[in-house]
Amino acid sequence: MLGIWTSELERNWKRKSKIVLYAAFLVLVILNILGASSSGMGEFRFGEGSITLNTLNAPWFVMNGISLLMVAALLPIIYIDHLSGELHSGGYRIYGLRPYRRFELWLGKILALAVTTLIFILVTYGIAMIGSKIFFPSTDTTTLYRTEGEVGRVSAEWYTVKFYAVFLLTCLAKLLFCSAICVFISRPLIAFLVVSALSVVIYHYLATELVFLFDPFQQILLALRPEGSYKFWIYLIGSMVVFGSISLVGWQKKVI
């Protein structure tokens, strides 16, 4: 099992096209921080005004646009290229002949992509934290999304950690969603278009709470309020279970 995971992880990081994609993303994160620092204000995309950015709220607020980019485009490209591309080429048949159960092959691929996602988010978190110290005004207190009063440094930095942790979970839900689609659609471009379209259709016509499959920023902030958002957690965990089950069963039934 460890060998499968290591092999899949290496494939994720050795291709030149993906390295270029990763580098371009990091540049966009840095440019986003620089753009926010030049204005000193953060504009919410939900008609809720703006906030003054500082060292304590900038690390999570810079994800306002980056989270949309990651969940709607960047990560699906990586997921689908790794999963659907292999199914389309027939390469999965070769892997299926290895002395492993199909469950192990499937899990190795998912875990490799999950680790890739974790690395992306940790690097983004690191850049956001460093950038906030360099480019934004220093402060010992700040206000958080839809909260009364100010919080201190420890509470604000813990809030940022929780934001990135929950964001990781939403990305993993998108990973399992992509993996479920790739079982049925093997052509990468078509799979990407279907994933993009369904991500919008699902929250428009099925459940608005599932908007985190397309744009998770506001939903995460609502879930992090003191009163929380139990619906968010129900839909998040439920979607991961449903999509993961579809993906696993579909992979088990693929013809070798």
**How many alpha carbons lie under 13 Å from residue 94 in its C-beta half-sphere?**
5
- Each residue of 51-96: pLDDT tens digit? 899 999 999 999 999 999 999 999 999 999 888 866 555 555 555 5
The predicted pLDDT at position 228 comes to 80
The predicted pLDDT at position 100 comes to 62
| pTM of the entire predicted model | 0.91
Distance CA 217, CA 83 (A): 26
The predicted pLDDT at position 57 comes to 94
**Cα torsion 216, 217, 223, 229: sign:** negative
**Cα torsion 73, 77, 79, 85: sign:** positive
The pLDDT of residue 182 is above 80: yes
The predicted pLDDT at position 89 comes to 57
Mean pLDDT confidence for 206-214: 93
Q: Which amino acid belongs to residue 181?
A: I
Query: pLDDT class for 15, splitting at 50, 70, 90?
Result: confident
> DSSP assignment of 8-28, as one string?
HHHHHHH-HHHHHHHHHHHHH
What are the structure tokens assigned to 137, written together? 């005004």
Q: What are phi and psi of 47, to 5 degrees?
A: 70, 30
Among 30-34, 45-49, 151-155, whose mean pLDDT is lowest?
A: 45-49
The predicted pLDDT at position 113 comes to 93
* Contacts of residue 172, Cβ cutoff 8 Å, sequence gap at least 6: 114, 117, 240
Q: Which residues of 190-214 are buried (b: 16+ CB within 10 A; e: fewer)?
A: ebbebbeebbeebbeeeeebbbbbb
